[in-house]
């Protein structure tokens, strides 16, 4: 239990990003169709272990951060890379440009677990409890988080606006599917994390 405390770190809000980056696909990069889920466990992402100054800030816009697995289970092959997700179904036409900052043993093949405050603490439930004095199972339900935009008031004030992303941008649609392609990371994201893909160093 003591070691988990070292995983947890302060997450702050950044302003909405106004600049629109040039979207440049990576030749022979990751691409395909994927499922999405959402989480927020207040813990240091697995991709951060090699980056001492790495940090995550909650981004209240169509840019963001995600855990990912392309092979199923723990998969660090995508660390620091950026993915352009094009939503299908009810959210057809919406896009999310996200940097991969984490992975996880509970992820399936081609699975993005989007980081959204109030999105559910999942397996690692102690991070938000220690950082924000959250309930044992986080805000809302442990797997799924808060169930309405109104419940975002249960979160600490600095996280509330980003909690509303699930309704303001995702329109309350739970776990939408996406088509995805790997793209060059815009400076607007990498400057927040100092996380640079190995193949661009």
Residue 170's CATH number: 2.40.40.10
Q: Is residue 63 part of a domain?
A: yes
The span from the CA of 57 to the CA of 193, in Å, is: 8
Task: State the pLDDT at residue 3.
Answer: 25
Task: State the pLDDT at residue 196.
Answer: 80
Task: State the pLDDT at residue 56.
Answer: 45
The span from the CA of 141 to the CA of 149, in Å, is: 14
The span from the CA of 57 to the CA of 43, in Å, is: 12
Q: Is residue 115 part of a domain?
A: yes
Task: State the pLDDT at residue 88.
Answer: 95
In order of 46, 69, 181, the CA distances from 23 in angstroms are 26, 22, 10
Catalytic residue chosen out of the listed positions 22, 28, 41, 177: 41
Task: State the pLDDT at residue 11.
Answer: 32
Query: Which residues, given as ranges, of the chain have pLDDT below 50?
Result: 1-19, 51-61, 201
Specify whether the CB–CB gap between 164 and 16 falls below 8 A. no
113 is known as an active-site residue: no
- E strands, the chain, where? 12-14, 31-39, 57-59, 63-69, 82-87, 95-102, 111-115, 178-183
Question: 10 Å Cβ neighbour count for 65?
Answer: 23
User: Residue 191 sits in which domain range?
Assistant: 25-200
Q: Is residue 82 part of a domain?
A: yes
Q: Is residue 33 part of a domain?
A: yes
Q: Is residue 4 part of a domain?
A: no
Q: Is residue 128 part of a domain?
A: yes
Residues in the chain: 201
The span from the CA of 135 to the CA of 129, in Å, is: 6
Tell me how many domains the chain contains: 1
- Entry pTM: 0.81
Q: Is residue 1 part of a domain?
A: no
Q: Is residue 79 part of a domain?
A: yes
- Find the angle CA(105)-CA(56)-CA(98) to the nearest 5 degrees: 70
Task: State the pLDDT at residue 167.
Answer: 93
Task: State the pLDDT at residue 135.
Answer: 93
- Find the angle CA(176)-CA(117)-CA(51) to the nearest 5 degrees: 100
């Amino acid at each position: 239990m003591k070691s988990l405390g070292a995983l947890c770190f302060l997450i702050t809000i950044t302003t909405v990003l106004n600049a629109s980056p040039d979207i440049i696909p990576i030749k022979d990069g990751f691409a395909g169709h994927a499922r999405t889920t959402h989480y927020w466990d207040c813990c240091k992402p697995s991709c951060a272990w090699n980056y001492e100054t790495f940090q995550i800030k909650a981004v209240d816009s169509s840019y963001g951060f995600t855990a990912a697995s392309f092979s199923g289970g723990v998969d660090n092959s995508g660390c620091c890379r950026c993915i352009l997700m094009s939503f299908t179904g009810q959210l057809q036409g919406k896009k999310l440009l996200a940097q991969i900052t984490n992975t996880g043993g509970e992820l399936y093949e081609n699975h993005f677990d989007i980081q959204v405050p109030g999105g559910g603490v999942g397996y690692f439930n102690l991070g938000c409890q220690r950082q924000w004095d959250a309930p044992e199972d986080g805000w809302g339900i442990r797997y799924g988080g808060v169930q309405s935009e109104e419940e975002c008031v249960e979160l600490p004030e600095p996280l509330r606006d980003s909690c509303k992303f699930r309704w303001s941008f995702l329109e309350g649609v739970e776990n939408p599917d996406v088509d995805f392609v790997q793209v060059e990371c815009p400076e607007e994201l990498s400057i927040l994390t100092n996380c640079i893909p190995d193949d661009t160093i």
